[in-house]
Chain A
């Protein structure tokens, strides 16, 4: 960890508990994941699932934001944002997929339990699931994507994948061929953005993984994120109680996404730091041009390595800047505001674009070692790209930025 401190971050903003958590994660994941990688590769049952359990249950990240009275750790002040970035950096250094799943859990906790937006009923309904059991609670989201014409688009242009109908004291959910953000094959809880029949405002509804009428497809193969066993799901008249609807309208959804993007930003930085460690070792030890030239001392490769370090430095600062924005809502605005949502989206997309390009460059420097599974780098490259795809189109996210910064009228 000391070596990575050469990439600056606002260490003074982190509390002792944050540093201790990051350190615990680093130690545990070194022992449980990193040291077993060559043997177990991306084995879900023997490597990733047990590690997820240790992160969420053993270290306690799935209890982190819930109130103490409900069994949680009461770490629900907005400056938990710093905790999240520093923790998920460490988780992603070991495995981006583990950090990706933890980001889902933490952002859902933030959506219900964060001071300032505390939802007593929701916390009472869901905290026990996270705090009382000894099993990890895998959280997945069903977000908006391109449509096929069944429902009206949201203001941003995309379409919810699920239709919710108000029925007595609850909701009935329907949808086919739904693509969750992760873990469709084994999620315990889905946070679902729904189009509400006959109404303009969407709803965000939490649906248990064992709900009657929820059908899971077969796990499908994808580029990376082996920790996420994803599958398409279909909903046929799934009934959930009214308390499961966390909010109506887009503000609450933006708030969730702002915290989600924060977690992803931390995970992206973790992938970059891990990639740095690999190219550092390569540059220190590789000899080129057959004349005893150390790789890192060659002006061409050194320039590229310098650029890589610059990109990692800036990305880390950006992730902590986003934590800073979320930590002080009284100064910068609520996480559900357009302003903060756009900032969170820009930073997360920028970090993943940087991560993709930076790991591309590192692969070029490491040549065949860059794409050999033995050297590990390629795993970060695949994982980062997969997260980027699941974040949604960066091209279309620019429309959100244009709406905010230029006050577009019809976009």
Chain B
């Protein structure tokens, strides 16, 4: 059978870092996750099987340290010029086994971007937080806490809404921020994350981006309460809950970068986040390709091997073509974010719009393709044991992470057609 590596990725983008990380994660996915992943759905609340599966990747291989500078025990991912392609490769292989784990890992990396990525590395916070992730043998997660009850995508729509709907407040009292608010849905909450980057306003209702603040809060700070995990259609490995902040006090230097800069670099999180989402689609689709090959092998239709029927072959070709095109698109998207000298800075609306365009195109194409594969597999398409239905459930959820499809459409239209009021 052909390998998933037959799907093209632009080899001119491959770096030594990419190769090492890719092989490592591939091995982890095959040995630590795939053998137990069919038990994940029932483990959504407790993570008794999920966390041990994460341990080798996060703690032993040390990917939880990846964004931090090397001199603080990290891998220096935030200072690399090949970060996004390398991360794409890692995400692909995680998602091949379980895209929820890809999201949990991504949701750990994204808040760290604020303080570990050049040119806005926050050395003081790196020094303060690196030991949490680097000096341990346990898997440790961070979380980026954005969504609020009154509006999900509004929070991510910084360019237009400018944080004016944020109801989580940060009030400065001496050398401390006092945070109050209620957040929903952040990945790695439910008691999992030990450090959170919390989107707040220092002046409720303000459209001044100086008032948009991203403030780090250790989960064990008095006044922080994580709710019970939500039960979802899939993505059991991505734990989410309500989080309440009641007079939570943190040092004033826990603000990620500073007035104006926090809001600016949210764009970078959006660009890189959307790139990661494409990688999860590609990784999951490649695993479906593997499982589909196994499904087809012994089966016959009209007296011939199923895959040799012209009508079936047409459907198979559509599926393979989708993966082929999306993998090239995904690596190109990652490369564009790495080569800011050629394609522009990744925090800017242009980069966000393009990443959104690539991502929602990938989502639509993937979901259509996987839906058809399930149909082709007939009753077996809905079986847990064939893994395809799990990917299908997870991929739908991924489509709605980091902003709905409609938010993607608005941002794409706004940039490409220079809309002013969307």
Contacts and interface: CB of A to CB of B under 8 A. Distances in A.
Given A364-B404, A367-B153, A290 B384 contact: no
Given A146-B301, A290-B154, A396-B301, A368 B233 contact: no
Contact of A290 (B151, B303, B371): B151
Interface in B335-390: 367, 371-372, 374-385, 389
A187 to B, nearest CB: 15
B185 A393 contact: no
B251 to A, nearest CB: 30
A370 interface: yes
A372 B230 contact: yes
A148 B299 CA distance: 5
A145 B379 contact: yes
Interface in A144-158: 145-149, 152-153, 157-158
A396 B301 CA distance: 10
Contacts of B160: 289
Contact of B384 (A222, A288, A364, A381): A222
A289 B384 contact: no
B152 A368 contact: yes
Contacts of B233: 371-373, 378, 381-382
Contact of A146 (B154, B185, B299): B299
Contacts, number: 147
B2 interface: no
A365 interface: yes
B192 to A, nearest CB: 17
B132 interface: no
Contact of A363 (B371, B400, B409): B400
A392 B232 contact: no
Please classify the interface of chain B as helix (H, G, I), strand (E, B), loop, or mixed, using the class held by over half of its residues: helix
A373 B153 contact: no
A399 B302 CA distance: 12
Contacts of B301: 146-147, 153, 157-158, 396
Interface string B162-191: 001100000000000000000011000000
Interface stretch (A51-59, A66-74, A383-391): A383-391
A396 B375 CA distance: 10
B298 A148 contact: yes
Given A365-B406, A367-B400, A374-B230, A146 B375 contact: no
A385 B371 contact: yes
B311 A386 contact: no
B400 A290 contact: no
Contacts of A390: 378-379, 382
B150 interface: yes
Contacts of B164: 290
Nearest to B164: A290
Interface string B147-160: 10011111001001
Contacts of B41: 221
A63 interface: no
B379 A179 contact: yes
B300 A386 contact: no
B378 A153 contact: no
Contact of B378 (A152, A220, A373, A389): A389
Nearest to B152: A367
B46 interface: no
B306 A146 contact: yes
A301 to B, nearest CB: 6
A370 B381 contact: no
A368 B231 contact: no
A334 interface: no
A374 B393 CA distance: 16
B400 A368 contact: yes
A259 B212 CA distance: 60
Given A364-B406, A371-B234, A222 B383 contact: yes
A300 interface: yes
A146 B300 contact: yes
A223 interface: yes
B249 interface: no
Contacts of A304: 406
A395 interface: yes
B154 A392 contact: no
Contacts of A388: 374-375
A159 interface: yes
B421 to A, nearest CB: 10
A298 B378 CA distance: 39
Nearest to B155: A290
Contacts of B240: 368
A260 to B, nearest CB: 15
Interface in A345-385: 356, 360, 363-365, 367-368, 370-374, 378, 381-382, 385
Contact of A378 (B161, B232, B375, B399): B232
Contact of B389 (A222, A288, A393): A222
A290 B161 contact: yes
Contacts of A145: 378-379
Nearest to B407: A367
B396 interface: yes
Interface string B389-417: 10011001101100011100110000000
Contacts of A300: 406, 409-410
B312 interface: yes
A373 B154 contact: no
A393 B406 contact: no
B402 to A, nearest CB: 11
A287 interface: yes
A389 B230 contact: no
A97 interface: no
Interface of A: 145-149, 152-153, 157-159, 179, 181, 220-225, 287-290, 300-301, 304, 356, 360, 363-365, 367-368, 370-374, 378, 381-382, 385-386, 388-390, 392-396, 398-399
Which 5 residue pairs are nearest across A and B when measured between Cβ atoms?
A290-B165, A221-B384, A157-B302, A378-B233, A146-B299
7 contacts: A145-B379, A158-B301, A225-B382, A287-B151, A363-B400, A371-B233, A385-B371
Given A147-B301, A220-B385, A373-B231, 11 more contacts: A146-B378, A157-B309, A220-B383, A220-B384, A222-B382, A223-B392, A225-B382, A363-B400, A372-B230, A382-B233, A395-B372
